[in-house]
C-alpha cells in the first residue's frame, strides 16, 4: 500500500510513473537477478507484483505532512499506523479492493 499526497502536477507525474512506466510483472534478464527472483517467488508463493489505483481524490488537510517511509509487517500494524494518522479507512479500501 502506498499513500501519496501532493500537488496536482507532482501527483500526475507520480501516477504516470507507477501505472505506466514501471513494468511490475517484467522478468529480469540478468542471471543473478533471476536467481534472486526465484528465491523471492518461493517465499512469496503465487503473489505477483502489480500496482492498481484504489482511490484518488481531494482531502481537506494533509494527513502525512512529512516525507517518510513506514513499513508494517502485519495487517494489524498497518491498520494501527493508518489509524494514528486519522486515515484508518484507507486500509479497508485496499483490503476490499479486487483486482480485475
pLDDT of residue 31: 47
Has residue 14 got a pLDDT over 90?
yes
Q: How many beta carbons lie within 10 A of that of residue 82, not counting itself? A: 21
**Distance, first Cα to last Cα, the chain:** 17
| pLDDT interval class at 20 (50, 70, 90) | very high
Q: How far is CA 8 from the centre of its chain?
A: 19
pTM given for the model: 0.68
Q: How far is CA 90 from CA 24, 30, 60, in A?
A: 22, 37, 15
Has residue 57 got a pLDDT over 50?
yes
Amino acid at each position: 500500500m502506498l499513500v501519496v499526497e501532493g500537488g496536482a502536477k507532482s501527483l500526475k507525474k507520480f501516477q504516470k510513473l507507477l501505472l505506466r512506466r514501471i513494468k511490475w510483472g517484467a522478468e529480469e534478464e540478468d542471471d543473478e537477478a533471476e536467481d534472486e527472483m526465484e528465491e523471492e517467488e518461493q517465499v512469496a508463493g503465487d503473489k505477483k507484483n502489480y500496482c492498481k489505483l484504489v482511490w484518488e481524490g481531494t482531502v481537506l488537510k494533509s494527513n502525512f505532512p512529512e516525507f517518510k517511509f513506514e513499513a508494517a509487517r502485519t495487517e494489524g500494524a498497518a491498520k494501527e499506523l493508518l489509524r494514528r494518522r486519522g486515515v484508518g479507512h484507507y486500509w479497508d479500501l485496499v483490503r476490499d479492493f479486487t483486482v480485475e
